Structure 1
Amino acid sequence: MSFHKTLFFIYLLISGIANSQSLKNNEQLDQQLYKLKDRLESAKAESNTQKIAKTYIDLGNFFKNIELYAEALKNYQAYLDIQKKQDSSSVYVYSALASIDLDLKKFNEAKKYSHISLKLSKTIGYEKGKAEANALLGSIAEKQSDYDNALKHQNISLAIFKKLNDSTGLATVNENIGSIYEDLEQYDLALSYFKKAHEFAKHSNSNLQINIINNLGDANRKTKNFEKALRYTEEALKLAQQTNNASQIESALKDLARTYARTGDFEKAYNYLNNQSIVNEKELKRNNTEMVSAMQVLYDVKEKEAEVKLLNKENQINKVRQYVILITTGAIILALIVGFIYWKKRRKHEKHILEYQQQLLQADLDKKTAAEEALKREIDIKVSSLTNYSLHIAHKNKMLSDVSKTLTKIQGRNNELVQKKLKHLVKDIEQDLNQNNEWTELMGYFGQIHPDFFKIIKKIALKKLSSSEMRLCMLLRLNLSSKEIADILHITPDSVRIARYRLRKKLPLDSNDDLQAYLLNL
């Protein structure tokens, strides 16, 4: 089977899995949420505090898994409000709160909950809780680039998991340490820890195994051991396909594209990157569908709860009215007193109705927020498409340049007529390389994603920028390296450095400012 056919088969396989499982997953989510809500109502009716607390944890886990973090936080907090006993479940909830805040990049909040989890684990002598809390603190420190502190906490966690002989914990922490050394560009150390993680993860869940294998491929790519990098990444892709894990398939395809790009095989790099974009789009649609479905179920549940409460209140009002009629027949004074009580109840009831309406409006706002997130992800897909197009230009220019050099070399080996025709052919190819059609189309794509970029750069420039300098600004804003820019512009890397130097002189930059960082922050 050819390379293109293999990629096409992967695309069809992923599309089929996504379409067939999407409805099934949504139905399962709906059923799961309804069951949890029913269990919570049943527990409340029985006044079973332990059952209520356990259900709040399960609801928090449900919403955390589908990334509805606001609802997850609300349910975890509800658990902490009713569960006064400090035990391993409380440790788990504080760690879950820290994990959510870490995902949301609220590092101070994440650190606060991690320390609470660690302190509580020490108090009750819960060793696994201490290990997990230290691992979280290490991950927070890594995100804040505090690598010494990150290694300190991860090594404490590693020692505890060794004592517990917890293979999954050892695999996770070794992977975390490998990630830290990878950030520090100490790739040999990173590889050694990733290998240890790989050994410990043999009996762990498939997601952890795939992630570790992907990291092994990534570290080998960064050390230019491309053969091993491709082998590990292809193994990760195979495992991800076997488990129908679309996010891991996307990650493996992206890493394969990067590796082939580093080896100079831009055609395979482009094809893998294109397939990664397709998988990414499918995964985004699936996630959005799941999230919208869950939001709809949540909205329906809240709406029904509000309707039930409203009906109960209306029944209460009807009973009050009946009592008022009976009492007024007895005495006018007593009727006035009862009327006053009824008026107060009516006001309280209207206040409750207003609160229920506000809850419904909040649920509608949450749905709109989810829709905005979906639009943001679509923009990310367009950015990926723009990068693909840049790679296409680089590939075309390299191909035309190679043909031009080859034709130039054979001019002197033929008769005068052939030499003349070859000169014309070389001239035509060079003209094709200098055509601006691709630039017009590329700048059109760029303008759709960053509509005000060129206006801003022209406004802040100290001197008028040439068209070639505007192109350089655009390519730097796309976060491309000097080598990649040189391939696209068909010039040498030294020429790119000179062009960057001249561009700096025309922009309001200090000597210590980074040009590319400045353009990325515009």
Structure 2
Amino acid sequence: MQHLYKAFRCCCILIFCNLQLEAQTLIDTSSVVNKELLQLKYNLQAAKLANNDKKESQAYIQLGDFYNQLKLKSEAVKNYQLYLSLNNDKDTSLVYVKNAIAAINVDLKNYNEAINHLHESLSISEKINDLKGKANANALFGTIEEKKGDYKRALAYQNKSLNIFKKLQDSTGLAVSNENIGSIYEDLEQYDLAYQYFKKAFVFSKNSDSHIRINIINNLGDVNRKQGYYNKALTYTSQALDLARATNNFSQIESALKDLARIYAGKEDFEQAYNYLNQQSTVNEQELKLHNAELVSAMQVRYDVKEKEAALEILNKQNQINKVQKYIIITITGAIILTFIIGFLYLKKSRKHEKAILEYKQQLLQADLDKKITEETALKREIDIKISSLTSYSLHIAHKNKMLSDVSKTLTKIKGRNSELIKSKIQQLVEEIEADLSHNNEWTELMGYFGQIHPNFFESLKQVATSKLSASEMRLCMLLRLNLSSKEIAEVLRITSDSVRIARYRLRKKLPLNSKEDLQAYLLNL
């Protein structure tokens, strides 16, 4: 019986592999994502058929990496966990998987879970002398401490990682470590130190992946922009944009366009800033469409494969049930007692099989749920596009207010040079412009747009405020929630930067903040 079962299992796996190959011919050959997923699934089944645990465990790592690249975190962790359940060797692959799971948990802000995996990773890497795994684990510890706001500990971990990569002479590791340290100093607003580390990262990134190199160049531009060196920032960011376009890296193209808009806004060239924001919105839409197409395609293939797996398993279980039934029919003629025993065993096994069939049906439902989650992610990206448009509208208001203010000042200067009649006409025009500047229609429209994107923001703000907020304070909260800088807020409200600073100070007193909490970060998380 057992030999027959093994032979039947091998036949089923072979049938499954053929079904996969048939499915592969039905998929569009131009879809790289579909091909890669089908190939990885085929490799996994081939390893299972050959009873090769080592190849099977490596196949799970490759599937985990594949889903991680597509940002399907739950599927990535699931495959990494399958590797852990199969592999008992404490080797470099185990360190790699532990670090990968920790990195996913860092992205999901599950810091305690990430720390547990990193401690295991460090313990294993020290025992087997895996320096690269140890360096990556320290880098992730540094990232966690940076996100928690403990910059001293973050720097200590990142420097450990940097020293190990120096021993390994790993140029990519050195580039990433220097960039991480530069980011910490940038958060601390020590821009000179941040710039030095970004420059070192740029030197080491010459042989690194283009994505890493572009990100470093973008950081060089951003740190110069924050110091007010707009021409230098423009040079770096333009270089990052050219490299991103050459490699078709849509996320980096979008980031570079957004930074260019900020640079031109800092130079008070609002027309160029508005132009780059429009380009960034277009690229964002293109990236959204491309990413969604890849996700939907991958999810469809995954759903089809799981459906075939479930159907095959159901057929397998049904055949086993039929085989047991035939055995009962043959043996029932032997003896009644033996018949009762076999009947009892059959009933027990049948229930177990029905439970397994139910589990496979639940897996199908889970696949459908994952597909819906992907669609929800797409909707979130659409909301991000609307937020970008809202920021563009704010810059447009600032540009218009500045233009009207300049016209008003000019007319005021020349009104004394003309006759009494011209003077009265110019005075009337000045009053009309001033009235237009104080008109609240644009604020009403802007707050209406804001309310569509953040419908509960103002209600939540009123609930947490310790005293009643004025209309101007509500406007200031809205602009801070849009992540505008103090300079940009001053231009929108037509006040000085000192007035913005005083307004922010008064607003802090009306909100439940301690002295160490950042006002803008609080409003962004409200």
TM-score w.r.t. length of structure 1: 0.88
Question: Which residue type is aligned with residue 66 of structure 1?
Answer: L
Equivalent position to 2:89, from 81, 85, 91: 85
Give yes or no for contact 1:234–1:252 (8 Å, CA) kept in 2.
yes
Question: Which residue type is aligned with residue 170 of structure 2?
Answer: D
How far the C-alpha of 1:158 sits from its partner, in A, is: 1.9
CA distance in structure 1 between the aligned counterparts of 2:223 and 2:270, rounded to whole angstroms: 20
CA distance in structure 2 between the aligned counterparts of 1:168 and 1:465, rounded to whole angstroms: 51
1:217: which partner in 2?
221
Q: Secondary structure at the match of 1:47?
A: coil
Give yes or no for contact 2:398–2:492 (8 Å, CA) kept in 1.
yes
How far the C-alpha of 1:121 sits from its partner, in A, is: 1.9
1:434: which partner in 2?
438
1:118: which partner in 2?
122
1:49/1:166 CA distance change after superposition, 3 Å = same
1:68/1:25 CA distance change after superposition, 3 Å = farther
2:387: which partner in 1?
383
How far the C-alpha of 1:456 sits from its partner, in A, is: 4.7
Q: State which drifts further: 446-455 or 86-95.
A: 446-455
Aligned runs of 1:354-433 on 2, under 5 Å?
354-433=358-437
Say which structure, 1 or 2, has more relative contact order (CA 8 Å, 6+ apart). 1
2:203: which partner in 1?
199
1:11: which partner in 2?
none
CA distance in structure 1 between the aligned counterparts of 2:151 and 2:36, rounded to whole angstroms: 40
Aligned runs of 1:321-340 on 2, under 5 Å?
321-340=325-344
Equivalent position to 1:453, from 452, 457, 474: 457
Deviations 1:350-380 (A, max 9, x none): 1111111211122222222222222222222
CA distance in structure 1 between the aligned counterparts of 2:104 and 2:424, rounded to whole angstroms: 70
Give yes or no for contact 1:151–1:180 (8 Å, CA) kept in 2.
yes
CA distance in structure 2 between the aligned counterparts of 1:410 and 1:314, rounded to whole angstroms: 95
Question: Which residue type is aligned with residue 81 of structure 1?
Answer: S
How far the C-alpha of 1:322 sits from its partner, in A, is: 2.5
Give yes or no for contact 1:257–1:272 (8 Å, CA) kept in 2.
yes
- Alignment gaps of 5+ in structure 2: 1-26
Give yes or no for contact 1:26–1:289 (8 Å, CA) kept in 2.
no
1:179: which partner in 2?
183
2:110: which partner in 1?
106
Equivalent position to 1:240, from 237, 244, 249: 244
1:242/1:365 CA distance change after superposition, 3 Å = same
How far the C-alpha of 1:517 sits from its partner, in A, is: 5.7
Give yes or no for contact 1:26–1:290 (8 Å, CA) kept in 2.
no
Q: State which drifts further: 77-86 or 192-201.
A: 77-86
CA distance in structure 1 between the aligned counterparts of 2:274 and 2:224, rounded to whole angstroms: 20
Deviations 1:189-233 (A, max 9, x none): 111111111111112111111111111111111222111111000
| Equivalenced residues, count | 499
Equivalent position to 2:346, from 325, 342, 347: 342
CA distance in structure 1 between the aligned counterparts of 2:285 and 2:230, rounded to whole angstroms: 28
Question: Which residue type is aligned with residue 214 of structure 1?
Answer: N
2:41: which partner in 1?
37
How far the C-alpha of 1:468 sits from its partner, in A, is: 4.2
Question: Which residue type is aligned with residue 311 of structure 2?
Answer: E
1:228: which partner in 2?
232
CA distance in structure 2 between the aligned counterparts of 1:248 and 1:303, rounded to whole angstroms: 37
Give yes or no for contact 1:174–1:193 (8 Å, CA) kept in 2.
yes
Question: Which residue type is aligned with residue 46 of structure 1?
Answer: A
1:355/1:382 CA distance change after superposition, 3 Å = same
Give yes or no for contact 2:91–2:128 (8 Å, CA) kept in 1.
yes
How far the C-alpha of 1:324 sits from its partner, in A, is: 2.8
Give yes or no for contact 1:25–1:290 (8 Å, CA) kept in 2.
no
Equivalent position to 2:301, from 290, 297, 300: 297
The answer to whether 1:267 aligns with 2:271 is: yes
CA distance in structure 2 between the aligned counterparts of 1:465 and 1:183, rounded to whole angstroms: 30
Deviations 1:76-113 (A, max 9, x none): 12222222222222222222122212222222222222
Let me know the Cα RMSD of the aligned residues. 2.6
How far the C-alpha of 1:339 sits from its partner, in A, is: 3.0
CA distance in structure 2 between the aligned counterparts of 1:184 and 1:24, rounded to whole angstroms: 50
Equivalent position to 1:143, from 137, 140, 147: 147
CA distance in structure 2 between the aligned counterparts of 1:265 and 1:48, rounded to whole angstroms: 63
1:25/1:278 CA distance change after superposition, 3 Å = farther
CA distance in structure 1 between the aligned counterparts of 2:425 and 2:410, rounded to whole angstroms: 14
Deviations 1:258-315 (A, max 9, x none): 1111121122112212221222232223222222222222222111111001011111
Give yes or no for contact 2:230–2:263 (8 Å, CA) kept in 1.
yes
1:65: which partner in 2?
69
1:19: which partner in 2?
none
The answer to whether 1:129 aligns with 2:122 is: no
How far the C-alpha of 1:51 sits from its partner, in A, is: 1.0
The answer to whether 1:166 aligns with 2:167 is: no
1:16: which partner in 2?
none
